[in-house]
Amino acid sequence: MSFLDLKNVTKIYPNGTKAVHETSLSINEGEFMVFVGPSGCGKSTLLRMVAGLEDITEGDINLDGKLMNEVDPSERDVAMVFQNYALYPHMNVYNNLAYGLKNRGIDKETIEQKVNDAAKLLQISDYLQRKPSMLSGGQRQRVAMGRAIVRNPKIFLFDEPLSNLDAKLRIQMRLEIKKLQQKVGVTSIFVTHDQVEAMTLADRLAVINNGIIEQLGTPIEIYDNPKSLFVAGFIGSPQMNFLDGNLKNKTLSAEGFEIKDINSDYEGEVTLGIRPEHLIQTENGLINLKVDLVEQLGSDNLVYGQLKNKKDFCYRCPGNQTIEKGSNLSLNIENNKHYIFDKSTGKRVN
Amino acid sequence: MTRFITSSFSHLILLIGILIMVVPVWMIFASSTHTSSMINMNGLQMFLGDSFYENYLRVLLYQGGFFKEITALKMFFNSFIMATGVAILSVVTSLMAAYALVYYRIKHATLLFWIIFITILVPLELRIFPTYSVMAELNLVNSYFGLIVPISASAIATLFFRQFYKTVPDELLESAKLDGANTWRFFVDFLIPLSKTMIVAMLIFMFVFGYNQYLWPLLVTTSEQYWTVVMGLKMMSGSIVHRFAFVIMSMVPPILIIIVLQKHFIKGVFQDK
Ligand SMILES: Nc1ncnc2c1ncn2[C@@H]1O[C@H](COP(=O)(O)OP(=O)(O)OP(=O)(O)O)[C@@H](O)[C@H]1O
Ligand SMILES: [Mg+2]
């Protein structure tokens, strides 16, 4: 049995909303797991069941070999960082960090040492006497992290802890969280709906949709090998291009072109997916793109345009290429990196 | 220039308001420092006389009442006990009732709350005889307990605390739970400090409420030993200056409480913002 084990966990809220469907998942000790998915897909619900803040309707959660279903959150030895931090407004930073330790009956000197160590690690030593209202967003974020770290819990749970920060700080804190987790080595679950955050932080990633884990794997596995239309569309930025097509006798006829020798015996209506970064410019390519707009990011250019049938399409090329608005590009799929999905079920077929 | 005029105009109105409120009180105070014969001959006085100590000491120590068993000093003591008792008991019970209503998974908590709330429509004056007979059955007539308890259940205070608790974010409770706080610790370590300002405000309010009680103490005390200041105002016999002195002194405790607690009250308001 692994460190954290979810077996057929289901959550039905009292009002009948089924937020999580029979979900099974194993997380190893020290692993950084990220739950990613669109708003309302049940990420928080799943996390909160691990924390004990929501009852489990069905299924079992085991942490470190012990069944957690009926264990009170205060007894679970988990720490959680909330989106709005939930710092204790009437306590100064020191007491915010120390509170959980005091409740565990730890003696004063040990508490002081632990708090000071955590404060140093998070560079908040200078603010220990301040109230949370006197801190900036980033500092509050650190205090929230500190509160989790001092207790040295079995597992860290993060519920979109970065979404209240501005873009720059978010990237910085993202890096720090990752470094910190590697340093402290605590098993962590991180919930986000930002796929970049998910890709950069995760050891493993669970892509969740409508209360179901659509795919579980390392970020690269999921990026390279999405198992469903949903995952393919969700992971990767800019989003994968999708074209309608028909698959017959290993030949795909898409909107305006054909690909032969497809590695699949499936026949019928399909959706063809091509990532913007998996295209190269050639002469007489398969795809003709009429350029509407070019976003220059410096390192890359994002080229937005339309195919012959007016379908929107995106192509990503190195930033040193100059592409004129209104020009016509001829593109090929690089190394045959294309994804084919059953149009009705969304399942990958190649 | 127009701004100056409008602002002096509003100041003028405020000043008039203050005068209307303060002048009568001042006149009673000034008059209470004269001798009775002076007041009887010349009417109310605007300026201080020289009988301050004489009058006030006499009032404080004079054995009053029909049986000459009670001094004003004892009345102040009784009123203080009663008002403090009412303030503390009602704040404590309201805090706990609101906590239970908001945080415990009580079925029909809202309905229960409204039932508590409509007791506002049934003030003590309406239920005074049943309440009296309960107290009599319990042998609590002529005791501080009997003075305090029946008026210490405050729906208003419960309402205020309940509304406040409802604004406390759920995440605070959740993160306290994960930090190992049980129900009691959450109440003591979080809700009480967070509602400090409101607690002080309610203490003031309920103190004054308890202090001002007239009908209930009148009914539940037969022994003069338990007379309160407000009862004394009615019962005190004596010369006019002594009554004035008593009136003036009866205003002191509520004012003192407000002055003492107001500091915390204001500090609380500004600290947590
Ligand atoms: N207390 C509740 N009672 C009833 N339904 C709820 C409750 N909390 C959440 N839900 C529903 O359960 C589903 C999953 O909610 P959840 O909060 O887990 O989503 P999420 O993935 O965390 O979304 P977000 O990214 O917006 O935070 C949603 O459809 C939501 O409306
Ligand atoms: Mg959420």
pLDDT of residue B243: 86
pLDDT above 70 covers a percentage of chain A that reads: 100
3-class DSSP string for chain A: CCCEEEEEEEEECCCCCEEEEEEEEEECCCCEEEEECCCCCCHHHHHHHHHCCCCCCEEEEEECCEECCCCCHHHCCEEEECCCCCCCCCCCHHHHHHHHHHHCCCCHHHHHHHHHHHHHHCCCHHHCCCCHHHCCHHHHHHHHHHHHHHCCCCEEEEECCCCCCCHHHHHHHHHHHHHHHHHHCCEEEEEECCHHHHHHHCCEEEEEECCEEEEEECHHHHHHCCCEHHHHHHCCCCCCEEEEEEEECCEEEECCCEECCCCCCCCEEEEEEECHHHEEECCCCCEEEEEEEEEECCCEEEEEEECCCCCEEEEEEECCCCCCCCCEEEEEEHHHCCEEEECCCCEECC
What's the topology of domain A238-342?
OB fold (Dihydrolipoamide Acetyltransferase, E2P) (2.40.50)
- Give yes or no for a contact between B257 and B76, defined as CB atoms under 8 angstroms apart: no
> For every one of its 350 residues, what pLDDT tens digit does chain A have, with 9 covering 90 and above?
789 999 999 999 999 999 999 999 999 999 999 999 999 999 999 999 999 999 999 999 999 999 999 999 989 999 999 999 999 999 999 999 999 999 999 999 999 999 999 999 899 999 999 999 999 988 999 999 999 999 999 999 999 999 888 888 899 889 989 998 998 899 999 999 999 999 999 999 999 999 999 999 999 999 999 999 999 999 998 999 999 999 998 899 888 888 888 888 899 999 999 999 999 999 888 899 999 999 999 899 999 999 988 889 999 999 888 888 889 999 999 888 999 999 999 999 98
DSSP state of B189: I
pLDDT value of residue A216: 96
pLDDT at B250 over 50: yes
What's the pLDDT band for B269 if we cut at 50, 70, 90? low
Instruction: Give me the residue spans of the domains in chain A.
Output: 4-232, 238-342
Query: How close, in Å, is residue B88 to chain A by CA atoms?
Result: 23
For the CA of A211, the closest atom of ligand 1 is: 14
> What pLDDT, in 10s, does the model give residues B207-218?
999 999 999 998
Q: What angle do CA B62, B63, B69 make, to 5 degrees?
A: 160
Residue A280, Cβ neighbours under 10 Å: how many? Answer: 14
Tell me which chain B residues have a C-beta less than 8 angstroms from the C-beta of A52: 177-178
pLDDT score at B136 = 92
Cβ distance of A103 and B185 shorter than 8 Å: yes
Distance CA B92, CA B192 (A): 10
A339 beta partners = A273
Q: Could A51 and B178 be called an inter-chain contact, meaning their C-beta atoms sit closer than 8 Å?
A: yes
Predicted pLDDT of residue A159? 94
Minimum Cα–Cα distance from B195: chain A residue? A90
CA distance B174 to chain A (A): 7
Amino acid B238: pLDDT:
74
Q: What architecture does CATH give domain A4-232? A: 3-Layer(aba) Sandwich (3.40)
Closest ligand relative to A42 C-alpha = 1
Query: What local confidence, expressed as pLDDT, does residue A309 receive?
Result: 85
A247-293 pLDDT tens trace: 998 899 888 888 888 888 899 999 999 999 999 999 888 899 999 99
Count of Cβ atoms closer than 10 Å to residue B93 Cβ: 15
The Cα of B199 is separated from the nearest Cα of chain A by a number of Å equal to: 15
CATH architecture of the domain B62-270 equals: Orthogonal Bundle (1.10)
The pLDDT of B167-175, averaged and rounded, is: 93
Q: What's the average model confidence in pLDDT over B103-126?
A: 89
A208 Cβ inside 6 Å of ligand 1: no
B273 pLDDT higher than 50 = no
Contact B181 A103 (CB under 8 A): yes
ipTM of the complex: 0.84
The full set of domain ranges for chain B reads: 62-270
| Cβ of A48 below 6 Å from ligand 1 | no
Stretch B228-233: mean pLDDT: 86
Please classify residue B179 by burial: count the beta carbons closer than 10 Å to its beta carbon, then call 0-12 exposed, 13-18 middle and 19+ buried: buried
10 Å Cβ neighbour count for A214? Answer: 20
When CB atoms are compared, the residue of B178, B190, B193 closest to A78 is B178
Coil, strand, or helix at residue B15? helix
Average pLDDT, chain B: 88
Average pLDDT over residues B165-178: 93
**Would strands A78-81 and A312-318 be described as parallel, antiparallel, or unpaired?**
unpaired
Strand order across the beta sheet in which A339-342 lies: A258-259, A251-254, A241-248, A268-274, A339-342
